[in-house]
A = this chain, B = another copy of it.
Amino acid sequence: MIYITRKEHFNAAHKLFHSEWSEEKNLEVFGKCANPNWHGHNYYLFVTVKGEVNPDTGYTVNLKELSTIIRVHITDKLDHKNLNLDVDFMKNRMPTTENVAIAIWEQLDAHIQKLGGMLHCIKLCETDNNYVEYFGGS
């Protein structure tokens, strides 16, 4: 078993804001992240796949194919977008780093199995100072 990781990125806007809460409560819980007119980030995404090394190719999965899957299913939908408004798979989900990472896992999991590997970890960095790692739901 070996683990291979591909790094991708996307730049997106979001806000953290609970529509059923008062502005005061939103500010108390989410601070500056509740700014009504949005803010944004350069997100860095690390997708780790585990599998056996193919004896002919020396590859676990083909990184070019992995990169294409991430682009089609994730970064084309998130890059230069608003995570609250523009993304089908984020509808009705607070776009915290945690929830975006979990949603990315859900989008990628089946596609990576078709590549012949198993999704091991989604690591999502929102700033240089904080990131989230998700290893699946079981």
A contact residues vs B (CB 8 Å cutoff): 1-9, 11-14, 16, 18, 29-33, 35, 37-42, 48, 53, 56-60, 62-64, 79-82, 85-86, 93-99, 101-102, 127-135
Contacts and interface: CB of A to CB of B under 8 A. Distances in A.
B35 A81 contact: yes
B42 A5 contact: no
Binding site secondary structure of chain A: mixed
A57 to B, nearest CB: 6
Contacts of A56: 18
A102 to B, nearest CB: 7
Contacts of A6: 129-130
A9 B102 CA distance: 27
Contacts of A37: 13, 81-82, 85-86
11 contacts: A2-B98, A7-B129, A9-B128, A30-B57, A35-B81, A37-B82, A39-B81, A39-B82, A42-B127, A53-B98, A58-B95
